[in-house]
Amino acid sequence: MTVNESKYGSFYLKDCTLLAMATGKRAQNLRELRELLRDIDTNSIYYHFWGGLLRPRFDDPEYHNDFALWTANSLHNKLLAERLAVIDPMTFKTLDDLREELIDLIEETLNETEYPTWSKRDDQFEFIRFQLVIFNTKTVVQEPKELLNVLRNMSVGSIFFHFIDGRRRNADAQDDFQNWLSNFDEKYDELRDRISDIDPYFSSLTQLRRRLVDVFSAYFH
């Protein structure tokens, strides 16, 4: 251990971007969407719920996932779009559970609809998969209080990597901040609880950064 290194381990700040790739799977109506959802890789489901946070969007922010957005704009089914839009992926233990919720909502709509709407041929739902491209920022934090200043200038890519995607990588679906703070025994349990109260899904990455700064600022001042 070097002179400046914490005995609890260091926090290495990363940045990231999403590389979107076509799957070749497309749906023109709800029946096709349902059938493709049964077997599509969970990587794609993750992208269509979370990917919008990192890519430029000029769509109606009322719809927080691509399924709801397509249902509203291409199928003109506002009722189903609203039901899909309020799905919070954070409330599901696995992406397969989230998949089943999507299928159930679509099936309920199909059972209630005699003639399902078709989208235009050039406006089909295209399933996308992604690869996370990670960058090393060379910023290293030794003590939790140091994170406050780092957070203020953290890129949205770093927020996504540590606060969103970290939940895929860590035990108990913890973001990277909570996961690192757990190394300090019980010293920062209160701070971890405050961070866990932030639901990341219905906010932009800049809003999440602001909320994290507020939480760290209130705790350390």
The DSSP bridge partners found for residue 197 are none
**For residue 28, how far is the Cα from the chain centroid?**
25
65 is written with which tokens?
């996932």
Q: Specify the DSSP class assigned to residue 11.
A: E
- CA 92-96-101 angle, to 5 degrees, is 65
How far is the C-alpha of 15 from the C-alpha of 163, rounded, in Å? Answer: 11
Sign of CA dihedral 105, 111, 113, 118: positive
206 is written with which tokens?
């800049």
pLDDT band of residue 5 (cuts 50, 70, 90) is very low
pLDDT tens across 55-87, in order?
Answer: 765 455 678 899 999 999 999 999 999 999 999
| pTM recorded for the entire structure | 0.89
Pick the residue with more confidence: 32 or 120?
32
The crossing angle, in degrees rounded to 10, of helices 42-50 and 95-112 is 80
How far is the C-alpha of 159 from the C-alpha of 119, rounded, in Å? Answer: 35
The DSSP bridge partners found for residue 14 are 136
Q: Which of 55-64, 117-126, 204-213 has the lowest mean pLDDT?
A: 55-64
Cα–Cα separations (whole angstroms), residue 143 to 11, 36, 148, 150: 8, 47, 10, 11
How far is the C-alpha of 84 from the C-alpha of 68, rounded, in Å? Answer: 5
- Is residue 119 within 8 Å of 28, Cβ to Cβ? yes
pLDDT tens across 173-193, in order?
Answer: 899 999 999 999 899 999 999
pLDDT at 117: 76
**Which residue matches tokens 């233990």?**
93
How far is the C-alpha of 135 from the C-alpha of 157, rounded, in Å? Answer: 9
